[in-house]
Structure 1
């Protein structure tokens, strides 16, 4: 295959990973219906999956009946996305609108704004890649949430939707900018004395940043570098692309928002899609595509390694957020065996072995090995969070890895590392 052909394939491959984010159709019509007798707010339960939050929503079929679906709460996505099967079951392929229910609140979205399918990477669609064996069929995006005052409470595992103009929420106020087209919220932060714009997204398990931004910081502060290769929750996509295997894990001594400070914040500076060839031909295509619907340049997103520690309220109509601390976050959130994984059908393979100062952190393991068992427990069929949990370990704690290398069985004893 020619270098140009490889680049074109990479361009097609990265599109699904960015598909749950811009560029997408503009949200042309959203109608919210509060049932009579309801108060100013409703609260529905959330459940955790792969470091992300899911909520159950009701969806109206063409015959008027309702069916339930799990939706990914994604503040970094502008428009609803449905699985291909659900899109057709609800009649959107015939031009119908999307009618959903979040708790008792009805929401109707113009059908032309709804995306048909999350896209595929290899033989898996994005919902399956991120969530299987759970069946997740939809994205509940910023383009819908922006019509409410939204509170995400990790401790209570609850999502609250309130009418605009409700009393001021509790917590430290932090101004945000809401893009008029996408509804995505951007906050101004400071890292190492430098201003940086970040999307607030409880749909992301970990903070990801542009590789070019991180490279600039590391030129001045090389001590921030922790490893080459995504590990733990930073390995959030497990997609067969260069973003994670060629990424850089860093530890920010402090990240400041107006009135707030977060110490020891981990982040992944993403690698180039397709390595050096992809970087030359495509630049930071993932970020450029993702940023296109935000309305301004951003350095990345602030994910749940930070947001899990706060009760976050986004008053979209007022352009304000409110932060109430619930627990402290620590520097050990990535501690474990230094492997970057990629999902392959129902199992997991090693995309890269993390390195530090050029030395592999897990000697004896090679990129391309299929990870079969950890401490005797099989990985096939496990959800991503369970596979990552099996690799978690305190520094020096050992894990026994059983691998398949081109049909040959390999056993490696690996030690956890601090990231």
Structure 2
């Protein structure tokens, strides 16, 4: 055992994102459990409004608009426990996302556990055994390959250095992202320099994270990259607008970054993050099937009525998909599975299969139901 597991609980993956169950205790004695996303790249402790209302927590009147569109209100957080370990909430304020029952489309997510809280501990994410633990310190020898990290003390955002095609790049270690993200400027440069690297238009599969402008994204498969001494092969990345990374404020980052290393890579490891000594330790636990983008390549957007709209169609689909599915279609069923109300992860998984595997999609277009036969393809 390498980490004193003062708080050791189960970790669950959905859409390659890690979730844990946190116990909450209020001053009135009310105790309940809630599902939180573990977000090493998150800057705020966030609760849904539904959770805050259930806990009957006092809320400040001032409205805050963050990230361009989301509206929050501050509140004093209750006591939080990871297993038997009570989190250190010294000088911690929290934000309530106004009007929310969940923080991710189609997922039951009550809150986000952010990087600045995690950075007060030694953190273990063991994706293979489904284990998450916190310890005040890492006192014994660590397992796995050592990878230095840098992080800003105010945000706790951990960054690592990766090498791709002989060049070094800074990446945020971002557990809340399901697919590794890179600046579109970097991806466009590689597309010119390395035309043999597979790429495709629009974000599909785990690259489809419900973010803005995913229909304009570019996906690419990088043959190899190294993180410290750890060699990664056939890594799928998705482009994000330049402003998402290069223009990040340096008051929350210890070093410049061009993207984020995400769940599609991290899930293959047992990762310990020793913030106190600016180190992480990576142990292989499962080298995943490299072709994680074998599916019907559709970018999906969640509608207000919990149905899914086709926002884009990958150019690397077979002709049967490009000819029978249109942008704007509502996806209702996949081989008889009703997808309305399901999580994006469930819907994406329903569209996976070996290249050439056929599915029947039930679509709604301009009020008319259409049943179409489509085939999966190797998108990248």
Instruction: Identify the TM-score tier after normalising by the shorter chain.
Output: 0.7 to 0.9
Report the counterpart of residue 363 of structure 2 in structure 1. 403
Describe the SS at the equivalent of 1:386: helix
Residue in 2 aligned with 1:30? none
> What is aligned with 1:353?
313
For residues 243-267 of structure 1, give each alpha carbon's deviation from its aligned partner in whole angstroms, at most 9, with x where no partner exists.
Answer: x111111000001111111111111
Q: Report SS of the residue matched to 1:115.
A: strand
Partner of 2:201: 228
Unaligned runs of 5+ in 1: 1-38, 273-283
Closer/same/farther in 2, CA of residues 191 and 288 from structure 1, 3 Å limit:
closer
Post-superposition CA distance 1:150-185 (Å, at most 9, x none): 110111101021221411211100100011110010
SS of equivalent to 2:142: coil
Tell me if the contact between 1:205 and 1:305 (Cα under 8 Å) persists in the aligned partners.
yes
**Alpha carbons of structure 1 residues 289 and 381: separation in structure 2 relative to 1, 3 Å:** farther
Map 1:50-69; keep pairs closer than 5 Å.
50-69=15-34
Residue 9 of structure 1: aligned partner? none
What is the alpha-carbon distance in structure 1 between the residues aligned to residue 192 and residue 58 of structure 2?
50
Alignment correspondent of 1:113: 93
Secondary structure (helix, strand or coil) at the match of 2:87 reads strand
Q: Would you say the 8 A contact 2:8–2:82 is kept in 1?
A: no
Separation in 1, partners of 2:321, 2:207 = 16
Tell me what 1:311 maps to.
270
* C-alpha distance in 2 between matches for 1:326 and 1:40: 20
State the TM-score, normalized to the length of structure 2: 0.88
Is 1:157 matched with 2:130?
yes
Query: Residue 413 in 1 paired to residue 379 in 2?
Result: no
Equivalent position SS for 2:346: helix
Query: Aligned partners of 1:85 and 1:125: how far apart in 2?
Result: 5
Note the C-alpha offset of 1:210: 1.4
1:85 positional shift: 3.1
Q: 1:354, CA displacement in angstroms?
A: 0.5
Q: State the Cα deviation string for residues 265-316 of structure 1 (Å, max 9, x = none).
A: 111113x5xxxxxxxxxxx444467666324321111111111111000001
State the partner residue of 1:262.
232
- Give the C-alpha shift of residue 50 in structure 1: 3.0
* Structure 1: distance between partners of 2:176 and 2:355: 29
1:248 lines up with 2:218 in the alignment:
yes
1:91 counterpart = 2:69: no
Deviation of 1:76 (Å): 0.9
Residues in 2 aligned to 1:108 and 1:302: alpha-carbon distance in whole angstroms: 27
Pair 1:328 & 2:287 matched: yes
DSSP 3-state at the match of 2:232: strand
CA RMSD of aligned residues (A): 2.4
Considering fraction of residues, name the structure with more helix.
Answer: 1
2:41–2:173 contact (8 Å) kept in structure 1:
yes
SS at 2:350 equivalent:
helix
Whether the 8 Å CA contact 1:60–1:90 is kept in 2: the answer is no
Q: Where does structure 2 lack aligned partners over 5 or more consecutive residues?
A: 61-74
Q: SS in structure 2 opposite 1:368?
A: coil
CA contact (8 A) 1:338 1:354 kept: yes
How does the TM-score come out when normalised to structure 1?
Answer: 0.80
Which of 277, 295, 298 is 1:339 aligned to? 298
Matched-pair contact (CA < 8 Å) for 1:62–1:90: no
Pick from 103, 106, 116 the counterpart of residue 127 of structure 1: 103
Alpha-carbon contact 1:348-1:371 (below 8 Å) kept: yes
The corresponding residue for 1:392 is: 352
| Matched-pair contact (CA < 8 Å) for 1:96–1:111 | no
* Distance of aligned partners of 1:357 and 1:416 in 2 relative to their CA distance in 1, 3 Å threshold: closer
Once residues 351 and 40 of structure 1 are traced to their aligned partners in structure 2, the CA distance between those partners, rounded to angstroms, is 44
Q: CA offset at residue 65 of structure 1?
A: 2.2
1:111 deviates by 7.0
State the distance in 1 between where 2:122 and 2:226 align.
Answer: 24
User: Which residue does 1:184 correspond to in 2?
Assistant: 157
Tell me if the contact between 1:354 and 1:361 (Cα under 8 Å) persists in the aligned partners: no
Is this contact kept in 2: 1:338–1:362, CA < 8 A?
A: no
Contact 1:174–1:322 (Cα < 8 Å) also in 2? yes
